[in-house]
Amino acid sequence: MPLDTKQLKRLLSAVEDTREDEIHCDECLAGMAEFAETQLVGMEVPAAVQRIQAHILTCPECTEEFELLLEILRSSSSDLP
């Protein structure tokens, strides 16, 4: 089945965004909580978690996990006195 224009653009974008120091989903998931905490408090992303940020931007599955984690953390923090 050939790719449609949208799929092709996404594939080319992913290839273009590829870095030499890519990480896999397991490594991303392991550091995702730290990255989410920096996002929630508006901190600058530390160099140690920039690879996680890059992975989330290119991986739909990890993006979904990250968004769910943020949602959980936001709801948890609103429950605090």
The length of the chain is 81
* Residue 44 lies inside a defined structural domain of this protein: yes
Confidence at residue 17, expressed as pLDDT on a 0 to 100 scale: 66
Confidence at residue 58, expressed as pLDDT on a 0 to 100 scale: 85
* Residue 15 lies inside a defined structural domain of this protein: no
* Residue 56 lies inside a defined structural domain of this protein: yes
**Could you give the number of structural domains in the chain?**
1
One DSSP character per residue, 3-49 reads --HHHHHHHHHHHHT--TT---HHHHHHHHHHHHHHHHHTPPPPGGG
CA 65 – CA 4 distance, rounded (Å): 26
Q: Which of 67, 2, 50, 55 is nearest to 26 (CA)?
A: 55
* Residue 8 lies inside a defined structural domain of this protein: no
Confidence at residue 81, expressed as pLDDT on a 0 to 100 scale: 52
* Residue 16 lies inside a defined structural domain of this protein: no
**65: domain range?**
22-78
The answer to whether the predicted template modeling score (pTM) of the entire model surpasses 0.75 is no
The pLDDT tens digits along the chain (81 residues) read 788 898 888 777 766 766 667 789 999 999 999 999 888 888 888 887 888 998 998 899 999 999 999 999 998 876 555
* Residue 6 lies inside a defined structural domain of this protein: no
